[in-house]
Chain A
């Protein structure tokens, strides 16, 4: 089956600034494809180019077999899109919003009634259909926005940070929904900066400073991390970071609350060095364990290899 989404050397410049630099990838039908990256990496710009919101400076985007630059409106008919900031109409009721988007996608009559019921049920908003959207909690708003993006039953869904600012439980429910749609054959391209959500994706693309620096399944990405990681739990994390960072054989140290993750070259020698040095510095060490790399660790490592994330 041909890829439903194809990016080929997509580039976008804003004056001198290169926001997206020669990105190429393909997404298979029914796949949940995630875009991971720090702020300013170019994720939103990429999605905008793929959905016809922003023309690329160079390169090509192909969605559902159509060239996005040449037939943007045809593409828009076949895709659903949820933008980053909640952008349904706060002063319209839930049902009025559904009606509006139905109209925009020319979903009318009986078909609309059926779709409307589906959206309400999916979002759990059946009882609230006459409530002004602006008064709903964020989690429900997001579910409504998702429903409106799907009102015309598109086969491809683009979601730009759909769960930012949403509480963890709602986020889990939301991803359950996405999983449902993917199982039924919808291709989903989603950007996120929540590492735990990245685990739900079939494949992940890592972006930094406008470039694609990694593309693999979550498991594959984790396996790519060959250097061992030691979790160092101390009483004084900031001080410990300063000490451990300078040690030979320590590639990188990241602080996760009180715990340090140290990427080291050799587990054995590193253990010794860390224990000794922290003792010399008078910093109490409570735990020192090897851990499996999480996506967060993988990500931090890849970024480091690339020379650091974009500032801010």
Chain B
């Protein structure tokens, strides 16, 4: 029989200890706050104002027009005009310019004669992300110029009217902040709980506990309770910050978010307790908890880097990372206003993870000494 009295005693003790442990409190509340502010304000994946330079060996009205088209675009920012190819080399090597637009001397002539003009874009390929975007827009701009030149004032034959849904301005904050909720909760949940049980072993209080009639389940659940509360408070905090400070919309159902978050938190906390029970040293538990949560959560959850772009092995591995499911949920609820109908696969994944983690945590937790 599970005794609520015993369970309550454990939960109450955890809470009292937590209240007095400054370090844990900082981890629980300050760190999420700081991370949200940092990621919301400073981190962006947007590529705009790519610095470029021009090597214009034609210097004709036509070449000027081309350069104008580049400068006018919000994607490029002109560093300057160059005279010698060696200068272009230097700028690229130092990373000062990401793209060099090289216009050959016969540009205007080739264009008007119908032979077809060719320009060159030398792109710093080391940062493939920026380079790709730079090349694409460079090509698009050039094509636009070409079409206008041919049609002499006519609009381009085909235009793509692009609309971005859910995140109209493609602002990084809206991508990052909902995902951040998942990441923060994952890392912190595991770290906090990783310490609790190891601490009891190290201090010897576990033995005393073992001599009492308390059940394993009661201990695990009792220890989970205060941290679940912290997790939900963190959720509220990050959500409020995101909505109020960073303009992240919250279009979906808040209660649904809270409910799914609950399942997610329980899963991550149970994982922390599992680590803490298996390794009886606080130091080791911390290290393993960090390694096992920070790396996968940061990289394989889709928080920053799209899972779809990863090789098969990593894509498969990502299915084992619960944050992956939760990132889909948070983004869906914040940005898309979707419900269970769409999110049920993620919810299922989270429920399974939580159930397995919890069961393993209870099993792994042996208060008996052998």
In the bound complex, residues from chain B placing their C-beta under 8 Å from that of A74 are 213
Known: A54-B370, A89-B205. A100 touches B12 (CB 8 A): yes
Contact call A53/B210, Cβ cutoff below 8 A? yes
1/0 contact string of A53-81 vs chain B (CB within 8 Å): 11100000000000000000110110101
Closest to A93 in B: B16
Q: How far apart sit A108 and B6, CA to CA, in the bound complex (Å)?
A: 10
Size class of the contact patch on chain B: 20 to 34
The residue from B6, B9, B207 contacting A83, defined by CB atoms under 8 A apart? B207
In the bound complex, residues from chain B placing their C-beta under 8 Å from that of A91 are 16-17, 20-21
In the bound complex, residues from chain A placing their C-beta under 8 Å from that of B3 are 106
A42: CB under 8 A from chain B?
Answer: no
Contact call A76/B212, Cβ cutoff below 8 A? yes
In the bound complex, residues from chain A placing their C-beta under 8 Å from that of B211 are 51-53, 76, 79, 81, 83, 158
Q: How far apart sit A240 and B33, CA to CA, in the bound complex (Å)?
A: 74
A87: CB under 8 A from chain B?
Answer: yes
A85: CB under 8 A from chain B?
Answer: yes
Shortest beta-carbon distance from A280 to chain B in Å: 54
In the bound complex, residues from chain B placing their C-beta under 8 Å from that of A220 are none
A48: CB under 8 A from chain B?
Answer: yes
B38: CB under 8 A from chain A?
Answer: no
Contact call A76/B213, Cβ cutoff below 8 A? yes
Shortest beta-carbon distance from B66 to chain A in Å: 71
Residue with the greatest number of chain B CB neighbours at <10 A, chosen from A51, A87, A91, A104? A104
1/0 contact string of B2-20 vs chain A (CB within 8 Å): 0101101110110011001
Contact call B204/A89, Cβ cutoff below 8 A? no
A228: CB under 8 A from chain B?
Answer: no
In the bound complex, residues from chain A placing their C-beta under 8 Å from that of B368 are 52-55
Closest to B9 in A: A103
B280: CB under 8 A from chain A?
Answer: no
Q: How far apart sit A92 and B13, CA to CA, in the bound complex (Å)?
A: 8
Q: How far apart sit A104 and B12, CA to CA, in the bound complex (Å)?
A: 11
A126: CB under 8 A from chain B?
Answer: no
Contact call A48/B204, Cβ cutoff below 8 A? no
Contact call B204/A103, Cβ cutoff below 8 A? no
In the bound complex, residues from chain B placing their C-beta under 8 Å from that of A54 are 368-370
Give residues of chain B (230-255) contacting chain A, Cβ–Cβ below 8 Å.
Answer: none
Shortest beta-carbon distance from A306 to chain B in Å: 27
B214: CB under 8 A from chain A?
Answer: yes
B309: CB under 8 A from chain A?
Answer: no
B208: CB under 8 A from chain A?
Answer: yes
Closest to B215 in A: A73
B203: CB under 8 A from chain A?
Answer: yes
Q: How far apart sit A81 and B211, CA to CA, in the bound complex (Å)?
A: 7
Closest to A74 in B: B213
In the bound complex, residues from chain B placing their C-beta under 8 Å from that of A162 are none
Q: How far apart sit A229 and B135, CA to CA, in the bound complex (Å)?
A: 101
Shortest beta-carbon distance from B210 to chain A in Å: 5
The residue from B16, B215, B369 contacting A48, defined by CB atoms under 8 A apart? B369
Q: How far apart sit A74 and B368, CA to CA, in the bound complex (Å)?
A: 15
Q: How far apart sit A74 and B5, CA to CA, in the bound complex (Å)?
A: 17
The residue from B13, B204, B370 contacting A100, defined by CB atoms under 8 A apart? B13
Closest to B218 in A: A104
Shortest beta-carbon distance from B289 to chain A in Å: 21
In the bound complex, residues from chain B placing their C-beta under 8 Å from that of A103 are 5-6, 8-10, 12
In the bound complex, residues from chain B placing their C-beta under 8 Å from that of A79 are 211
A181: CB under 8 A from chain B?
Answer: no
Contact call A88/B20, Cβ cutoff below 8 A? no
Give residues of chain B (99-131) contacting chain A, Cβ–Cβ below 8 Å.
Answer: none
The residue from A52, A73, A87, A108 contacting B203, defined by CB atoms under 8 A apart? A87
Contact call B370/A87, Cβ cutoff below 8 A? no
Give residues of chain B (139-160) contacting chain A, Cβ–Cβ below 8 Å.
Answer: none
In the bound complex, residues from chain A placing their C-beta under 8 Å from that of B17 are 89, 91-92
Give residues of chain A (149-167) contacting chain B, Cβ–Cβ below 8 Å.
Answer: 158
Q: How far apart sit A85 and B204, CA to CA, in the bound complex (Å)?
A: 7
In the bound complex, residues from chain B placing their C-beta under 8 Å from that of A100 are 9-10, 12-13
Shortest beta-carbon distance from B19 to chain A in Å: 10
Closest to B208 in A: A87
Give residues of chain A (95-115) contacting chain B, Cβ–Cβ below 8 Å.
Answer: 96, 99-106, 108
Q: How far apart sit A53 and B367, CA to CA, in the bound complex (Å)?
A: 8
In the bound complex, residues from chain B placing their C-beta under 8 Å from that of A73 are 213, 215
A29: CB under 8 A from chain B?
Answer: no
In the bound complex, residues from chain B placing their C-beta under 8 Å from that of A214 are none
Q: How far apart sit A99 and B12, CA to CA, in the bound complex (Å)?
A: 10
Q: How far apart sit A154 and B203, CA to CA, in the bound complex (Å)?
A: 25
Closest to A73 in B: B213
In the bound complex, residues from chain B placing their C-beta under 8 Å from that of A86 are 204
Closest to A12 in B: B370
Known: A86-B204, A87-B205. A104 touches B20 (CB 8 A): no
Contact call A88/B369, Cβ cutoff below 8 A? no
Contact call A104/B369, Cβ cutoff below 8 A? no
Q: How far apart sit A54 and B366, CA to CA, in the bound complex (Å)?
A: 11
In the bound complex, residues from chain B placing their C-beta under 8 Å from that of A76 are 211-213
Shortest beta-carbon distance from A21 to chain B in Å: 17
Shortest beta-carbon distance from B49 to chain A in Å: 53
The residue from B204, B212, B370 contacting A101, defined by CB atoms under 8 A apart? B212
Q: How far apart sit A241 and B333, CA to CA, in the bound complex (Å)?
A: 85
In the bound complex, residues from chain A placing their C-beta under 8 Å from that of B8 are 103
Contact call B205/A102, Cβ cutoff below 8 A? no
In the bound complex, residues from chain A placing their C-beta under 8 Å from that of B370 are 54-55
Minimum-distance CB pairs A-B, first 8? A103-B9, A81-B211, A87-B208, A87-B204, A76-B213, A85-B204, A104-B212, A83-B207
B residues whose Cβ falls under 8 Å from a Cβ of A: 3, 5-6, 8-10, 12-13, 16-17, 20-21, 203-215, 368-370
7 A-B residue pairings within 8 Å (CB atoms): A53-B207, A77-B213, A87-B206, A88-B205, A88-B208, A89-B17, A91-B16
A residues whose Cβ falls under 8 Å from a Cβ of B: 48, 51-55, 73-74, 76-77, 79, 81, 83, 85-92, 96, 99-106, 108, 158
Known: A77-B213, A85-B207. 11 other contacts (CB 8 A): A48-B369, A54-B370, A74-B213, A76-B212, A87-B206, A91-B16, A91-B20, A91-B21, A99-B12, A103-B10, A106-B6
